[in-house]
């Protein structure tokens, strides 16, 4: 057993972030929405992990839970989020404030939601710096200029005085990345960082993130609906559907040889040059109503290989090569529940 | 071939000299759609936004013409101009030989039957107070082409064609998921048996697992009803999959046109090369070396002289600032607007 555990996942010592059986629910008038329902994964120091899923998969709620940004009627109903050895779920808001923005930083999809429209961008970066470091305002402004230069903004000594509305979408996203990196976080969470951007600007931002990862040695957790972006940016991928993890593993392996029927469906229904002139594979039906999730595997009503047993939660099981799959098809391959301790 | 060079410069997508006019359903000539730009305290008109600037291309009967480009390039304005949802400044849109832009009143209403639209956001384009049955039938009512019984019959037919069930017809649009709403939008577009459908970002708002259902449906309908599509999308992989030919736009100009296979395999215009190389995942599969463009798209209020891409182009020379490159045939059936299309 211990052998399997060691092979299947990195030991707890080298994990920067461990999410264990996380449950984030929302109380609504019509019932409880289990937006995240038993999610487990790890991010090692300096690693890059992508969470991929469609709308309603729970990927963004997962990242907001890690940042402690879940607001009522949402709440963390169970599980642990262990960051740098400490369970942040139990921390008070005041204790967590020392972590958020310093060791743990977040970049949102819409940079305007992270920037204050009435202050110049330099001042905002300086403020982020001074919240966690003892710097004079002159020192902080100097550092802000350096950070803008680091994220590839030309003439940074002039740009620090610009207001957000003067910048284009791509430039604004660079500024929020500069702000996130201000205190040299050990984990940078990027939640759909390029979804609102054009494809050539997306390429610039992804290039920047990849380059920065090597220069400042920060771990990256990338949340996206685009498996192509994950394939390019990350070493590991977590595939989510209906609030649960369907499959985890190395990006190359998962994209080349998907194991879970949902991942298989997703990858084969994506248009590719090879599919031109052929009918695309489809996943029948639609994403289930979050108020009425099916029992057991959330993908079961749309799964071409569904069986009676799928009404029972399959649990993540290791299938070798450090990969885990939540599917009854792999019942025989390994003992279940390697990490959901 | 040489004698028709001049003509080809004007009408870039005429497949070959032999291609008879019969084959061409839509012939767009020198289309310009400008918006007035006001500024200053008195809101005086200062300038024009050249959203679509001197664009010419043709679409053959039964084909899917894909149009790609980044936000603000004018692809949606071009599509909307073609079906008269925008009023172009000048140019011609010949539909089956008739100029759509020159028609008005009854003639225009008749033409509109043949030119239908599927919009990006089915939430915004379907009336929330109408039942699905009435949404689909609205065009039939407006055109007055069918009696009550025939309408009911036709609506039921359309619903089954696009994969909706009979009981869905008495519900409201908000009761449906995004994919099903797009099916309603498609049924409405097909109600008048159009020849031509403008599909403006029809799958962009849909989840990945539903997108392929709608793409398959569009392909099936094209085959069944002999439809011609102008398919606009920013998703380059979707456009490659569904299109027979593809046009690329940059800052209001059509800069390259070729068959889908040819364009994606051998782009000639540097902008197209950069755009295609930016498709995420392409790098991982090693399909193409990534070209990262520096800078941003210039303002369409004040586009660069000559080639509009020159400010970001790594191949730019002095000629690029001096002369506007015309869209010319750089390889058989492959048109590019670049002074150095042969070199790249």
ipTM of the complex: 0.82
What are the residues whose beta carbons fall under 8 Å from the beta carbon of B267, sequence distance 6 or more? Answer: B256, B273, B275, B276
Instruction: With a cut of 60, say whether residue B342 has pLDDT above it.
Output: yes
Return the structure tokens found at B230: 């102008």
A332 DSSP assignment: T
- 3-state SS, residue A240: strand
Q: What is the pLDDT of residue B21?
A: 63
Q: By mean pLDDT, which of A36-45, B127-136, B201-210, B289-298 is the weakest?
A: B289-298
Query: Which one has a higher pLDDT value, B61 or B20?
Result: B61
Report the C-alpha gap between B283 and A49 in whole angstroms. 18
Tell me which chain A residues have a C-beta less than 8 angstroms from the C-beta of B275.
199-200
A282 and B278 within 8 Å at the Cβ level: the answer is no
> B residues 265-284 near A, CB within 8 Å?
274-275, 277-284
Contact A269 B234 (CB under 8 A): no
Name the residue with higher pLDDT: B184 or A154: B184
Beta-sheet strands, E only, within B216-303:
228-232, 245-250, 253-259
Interchain contact, A279 vs B216, CB within 8 Å: yes
Token digits of residue B144 = 């007055």
pLDDT, mean of residues B290-306 = 86
Query: Which residues lie below 8 Å from residue A54, measured CB to CB, with a gap of 6+?
Result: A225, A241, A287, B207, B208, B209
Residue B312 CB neighbour total at 10 angstroms: 19
Task: Identify the pLDDT of residue A105.
Answer: 94
Task: Quote the percentage of chain B above a pLDDT of 90.
Answer: 69
Residue A199 CA: distances (Å) to CA of A64, A202, A330, B235, B272? 26, 5, 38, 9, 12
Confidence of residue B197 (pLDDT cuts 50, 70, 90): very high
Point out the residue among B238, B240, B280 whose CB comes nearest to the CB of A202: B280
Weakly modelled stretches of chain A, pLDDT under 50? 1-12, 337-341
User: pLDDT band for position B146 (50/70/90)?
Assistant: confident
Q: Which residue has the higher pLDDT, B100 or A1?
A: B100
pLDDT digits (tens, 9 = 90+) for B40-82: 777 777 788 899 999 999 999 999 999 999 888 999 999 999 9
If one compares B5 and A131, the residue with the highest pLDDT of the two is A131
pLDDT band at B279 (very low <50, low <70, confident <90, very high): confident
- Does any CB of chain A come closer than 8 Å to the CB of residue B138? no
B64: left (phi over 0), alpha (psi -120 to 50) or beta: beta
And the tokens for B73?
A: 């390039």
Facing residue for A54 by CB, picked from B71, B207, B292: B207
Distance CA A134, CA A141 (A): 13
For residue A286, which phi and psi values (nearest 5 degrees)? -135, 170
């Amino acid at each position: 057993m211990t052998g399997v555990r060691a092979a299947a996942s990195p030991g707890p010592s080298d994990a920067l972030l461990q999410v264990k059986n996380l449950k984030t629910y929302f109380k609504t008038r019509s019932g409880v929405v289990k937006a995240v329902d038993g999610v487990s994964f790890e991010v090692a120091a300096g690693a890059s992990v992508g969470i991929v899923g469609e709308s309603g998969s729970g990927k963004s709620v997962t990242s907001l839970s890690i940042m402690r940004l879940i607001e009522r009627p949402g709440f963390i109903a169970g599980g642990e989020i262990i960051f740098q050895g400490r369970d942040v779920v139990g921390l008070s808001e005041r204790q967590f404030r020392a972590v958020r923005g310093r060791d743990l930083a977040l970049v949102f999809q819409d940079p305007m939601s992270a920037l204050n429209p009435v202050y110049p961008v330099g001042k905002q970066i300086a403020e982020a710096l001074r919240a966690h470091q003892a710097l004079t305002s002159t020192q902080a402004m100097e550092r802000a200029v350096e950070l803008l230069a680091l994220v590839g903004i030309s003439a940074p000594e002039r740009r620090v005085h610009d207001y957000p509305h003067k910048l284009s979408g791509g430039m604004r996203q660079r500024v929020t990345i500069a702000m996130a990196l201000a205190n040299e976080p050990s984990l940078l969470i990027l939640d759909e960082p390029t979804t609102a951007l054009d494809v050539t600007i997306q390429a610039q931002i992804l290039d920047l993130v990849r380059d920065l990862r090597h220069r400042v040695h920060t771990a990256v957790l990338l949340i996206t609906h685009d498996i192509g972006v994950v394939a390019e940016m990350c070493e590991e991928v977590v595939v989510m559907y209906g609030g649960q993890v369907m499959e985890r593993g190395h990006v190359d392996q998962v994209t080349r040889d998907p194991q879970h029927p949902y991942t298989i469906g997703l990858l084969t229904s994506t248009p590719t040059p090879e599919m031109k002139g052929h009918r695309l594979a489809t996943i029948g039906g639609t994403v289930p109503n979050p108020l009425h999730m099916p029992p057991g595997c959330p993908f079961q009503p749309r799964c071409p290989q569904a069986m009676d047993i799928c009404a029972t939660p399959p649990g993540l099981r290791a299938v070798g090569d450090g990969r885990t799959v939540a599917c009854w098809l792999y019942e025989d391959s390994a003992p279940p529940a390697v990490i959901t301790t | 071939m040489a004698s028709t060079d001049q003509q080809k410069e004007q009408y870039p997508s005429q497949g070959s000299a032999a291609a008879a006019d019969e084959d061409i359903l839509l012939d767009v000539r020198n289309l310009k759609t400008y918006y007035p730009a006001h500024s200053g305290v008195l809101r005086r008109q200062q300038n024009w936004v050249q959203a679509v600037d001197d664009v010419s291309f043709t679409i053959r009967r039964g084909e899917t013409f894909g149009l790609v480009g980044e936000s603000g390039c004018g692809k949606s304005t071009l599509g909307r101009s073609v079906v008269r949802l925008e009023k172009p400044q000048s140019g011609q849109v010949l539909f089956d030989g008739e100029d759509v832009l020159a028609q008005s009143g009854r003639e225009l209403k008749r033409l509109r039957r043949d030119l239908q639209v599927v919009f990006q956001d089915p939430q915004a384009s379907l009336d929330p107070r109408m039942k699905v049955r009435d949404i689909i039938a609205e065009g039939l009512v407006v055109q007055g082409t069918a009696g009550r019984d025939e309408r009911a019959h036709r609506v039921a037919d359309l619903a089954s064609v696009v994969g909706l069930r009979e009981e869905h017809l008495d519900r409201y649009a908000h009761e449906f998921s995004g994919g099903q709403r797009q099916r309603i939008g498609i049924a409405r577009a097909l109600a008048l048996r159009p020849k031509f459908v403008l599909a403006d970002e029809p799958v962009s708002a849909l989840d990945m697992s539903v997108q392929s259902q709608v793409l398959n449906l569009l392909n099936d309908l094209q085959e069944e009803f002999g439809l011609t599509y102008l398919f606009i999308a920013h998703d380059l992989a979707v456009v490659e999959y569904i299109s027979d030919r593809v046009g690329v736009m940059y800052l209001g100009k059509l800069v390259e046109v070729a068959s889908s296979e040819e364009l994606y395999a051998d782009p000639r215009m540097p902008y197209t090369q950069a755009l295609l190389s930016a498709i995420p995942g392409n790098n991982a599969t090693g399909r193409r070396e990534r070209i990262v463009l520096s800078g941003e798209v210039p303002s369409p209020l004040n586009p660069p002289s000559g080639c509009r891409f020159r400010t970001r182009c790594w191949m730019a020379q002095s000629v690029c600032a001096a002369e506007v490159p015309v869209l010319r045939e750089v390889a058989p059936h492959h048109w590019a607007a670049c002074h150095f299309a042969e070199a790249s």
